[in-house]
A and B are shown apart, each in its own frame.
Chain A
């Protein structure tokens, strides 16, 4: 927690600001809806680290996906992710987004979330406890410091692959691609 070191602020205000003002769009799918409120409210109080829940993706920079991701919810997750302003970080909670977790063989859940949207941090646990969440947040700080939390850059560079995966999982998407995709032929030839 180097929030009060002025030199760091002066050197890289952007990074420091991102570290200590993580406005979270917590997309509560699955069992996250029960686990996240204790993180935010009085007992564990995420606000002291600057993490506040926000109403719309436009205002946030942390995207929390808590719990298993069904095929239908994936469409909403992609849409929300694309509507967030640019330096944005994604944290997946629980084992289900990692590898399908308990629903590893279910026909209706997404097994590996990072095939569809870039994920910066994983917090294991079949719904991690609030302390684990804070450990995750602090790890995210270090990632931001070391410039490794660059999911949004990967998404921009590899957008064609992500887009094709999404279309393979969901069939035809009814919103235009976020970044211009050069057509396939020229992609293969490069």
Chain B
């Protein structure tokens, strides 16, 4: 089942789901799930087959190529998995809303386009699927009307800008090496004498940077995520951002190659060190802004930008461990963020659209499964030892410290503590604390919403205890990209890379846990008591109005709130405002009076003749 087959099923699936949707809703939902699951299986089967074949011989003088190698397979399996989970989740989420056909069509189209990006063997088909993904995502972001429209518009303008830059860079390569197929493009570049032009790399960086929300180009992400429907914002921040990462890896290591990459940019300031520092900044600022957010999805959006900073940092370090860490963190972050967004979506679905952290509370009593999965996701995001997040962050830190970048390591570590604070704020304000009156008899989320959460939770814990499973695949990928492959045992790393054995960590933890529970068993079991019976200095707690945490980190907000407004966003908005002013100014040229129009014609004529006599033309 070659890459071409996968793509055809994906795109046909999107089209058919719309067609079936016109007949009956049930049929469309079943069909959507079947297609997604089928895609996951198809990709899983093609593990390990390296195939490259032309699927469209002569498109405007170039032939389009599809390729399936380890890197492509790794990203494809992530994309299809998260896509499948979000489709399953959106069964209940979208039922009853209007324009369901459009929603399913756009969601499956975005997933198909992402698969296309990942499987494409040459930069032109990469660009085509990239554009399809962008405008399909635009349609889905502005699905929920209201504020979603400006969010969608802001997203689409920035992504068009990015793709124009990418088109320029793409065609510059074609002009110089007159082929766009990645494999032989890479050979030609490496054999070419001169270095790789910096502006081409910067143009690619602009295009991919906008999509994966690096610091100066991140402003579209918080609005787009908080306005998009939850299942799609899981896809959006789970894998759509990772396409930017895939682009960076493809260009930096696939096309340009490691040896040449290290010389790109001025001798005293290499491109990849700038990328490292950008990644470090992208960790710090968004994490502290996420801390002060009150809307759950906006908090998660800012945290996505923060976590992307980790991946960029690891890619920028340009060592085998760093790249392995980056790839593993990409997979982990996709799973965590999908889980957390779906959990927020489940809560939003159940409480009728309430996402404001100051008005929720105590949902652990009504939605225990959702809380458990969200807890696992949160712990994974922080990188607590028994979750997969820990292993990938350990890799990143190890390479940062041994390569001698202590300040970058500092930024990453402080980012982890920022992650703890905002994950705890999310979990506390939504699930812990006192259950408000109006949610007293809220029943749990439907099974179709809990299933994706449980699957993600299971993956996090499984890869946390046995990181060898993904690491063996990632080790292979790192080998293909021009580094020495990372060898990993099933439960961690051998002595030569730096000892890490998750299994004895887990065994020690389980043992101590058992001892403590046994010790605790001696004492009498405590008496469960209602939430109103809490100590309030002797007064009986007034029911309901008693305890909602508002502005959870108020002291920090008072200290750093002023500095942490999103300056970059304000700069963009003021620039857009000025641009509108200029456009209105330009509109005045057409005064509506014929005499001025005639004067224009005569002016051009005189200019032409004058220019000729002056010898310019």
| Chain A CB within 10 A, most for which of B530, B538, B539, B540 | B538
- Assess whether B535 is in contact with A76, with CB atoms less than 8 Å apart: no
21 of the cross-chain contacts (CB-CB < 8 Å) are: A27-B538, A56-B535, A57-B535, A58-B535, A75-B538, A76-B537, A76-B538, A76-B539, A77-B538, A79-B538, A79-B539, A79-B540, A80-B538, A83-B533, A83-B535, A86-B524, A174-B540, A175-B532, A175-B533, A175-B540, A176-B530
Nearest Cβ on chain A to B528's Cβ, whole angstroms = 14
Kindly list chain A residues whose C-beta atoms are within 8 Å of the C-beta of B537.
76
Q: Which residue of A lies closest to B537 (CB)?
A: A76
Nearest Cβ on chain B to A180's Cβ, whole angstroms = 12
Q: Which of A50-96 contact B (CB under 8 A)?
A: 56-58, 75-77, 79-80, 83, 86
The number of residue pairs between A and B whose CB atoms lie closer than 8 Å in the complex comes to: 21
Q: Which residue of B lies closest to A173 (CB)?
A: B540
Nearest Cβ on chain B to A67's Cβ, whole angstroms = 15
Interfacial residues, chain B to chain A (CB-CB below 8 A): 524, 530, 532-533, 535, 537-540
| C-alpha gap A27/B537 in the complex (Å) | 10
Kindly list chain A residues whose C-beta atoms are within 8 Å of the C-beta of B532.
175
| C-alpha gap A57/B524 in the complex (Å) | 18
| C-alpha gap A48/B532 in the complex (Å) | 37
Kindly list chain B residues whose C-beta atoms are within 8 Å of the C-beta of A175.
532-533, 540
Kindly list chain B residues whose C-beta atoms are within 8 Å of the C-beta of A27.
538
| C-alpha gap A133/B530 in the complex (Å) | 36
In order of increasing CB-CB distance, the 9 nearest A-B pairs are A76-B538, A175-B540, A56-B535, A79-B538, A174-B540, A80-B538, A83-B535, A58-B535, A79-B540
| C-alpha gap A83/B539 in the complex (Å) | 11
| C-alpha gap A148/B530 in the complex (Å) | 32
Q: Using an 8 Å CB-CB cutoff, how does the interface string of A28-47 with B read, 1 for contact, 0 for none?
A: 00000000000000000000
Q: Which residue of A lies closest to B524 (CB)?
A: A86
Kindly list chain B residues whose C-beta atoms are within 8 Å of the C-beta of A57.
535
Kindly list chain B residues whose C-beta atoms are within 8 Å of the C-beta of A174.
540
Nearest Cβ on chain B to A60's Cβ, whole angstroms = 11
Q: Which residue of A lies closest to B536 (CB)?
A: A79
Kindly list chain B residues whose C-beta atoms are within 8 Å of the C-beta of A83.
533, 535
Kindly list chain B residues whose C-beta atoms are within 8 Å of the C-beta of A58.
535
Q: Which residue of B lies closest to A175 (CB)?
A: B540
Kindly list chain A residues whose C-beta atoms are within 8 Å of the C-beta of B530.
176
Kindly list chain A residues whose C-beta atoms are within 8 Å of the C-beta of B540.
79, 174-175
Q: Which of A90-133 contact B (CB under 8 A)?
A: none
Q: Which residue of B lies closest to A55 (CB)?
A: B535
Kindly list chain A residues whose C-beta atoms are within 8 Å of the C-beta of B535.
56-58, 83
* Interface contacts beyond A76-B538, A86-B524, A175-B532: sample of 7 additional A-B pairs, CB < 8 Å, sorted by A: A56-B535, A57-B535, A75-B538, A76-B537, A77-B538, A79-B538, A176-B530
| C-alpha gap A106/B538 in the complex (Å) | 24
Kindly list chain B residues whose C-beta atoms are within 8 Å of the C-beta of A76.
537-539
| C-alpha gap A174/B540 in the complex (Å) | 7
Nearest Cβ on chain B to A17's Cβ, whole angstroms = 12
| Chain B CB within 10 A, most for which of A27, A76, A79 | A79
Kindly list chain A residues whose C-beta atoms are within 8 Å of the C-beta of B539.
76, 79
| C-alpha gap A176/B537 in the complex (Å) | 17
Nearest Cβ on chain B to A78's Cβ, whole angstroms = 9
| C-alpha gap A56/B537 in the complex (Å) | 8
| C-alpha gap A27/B535 in the complex (Å) | 14
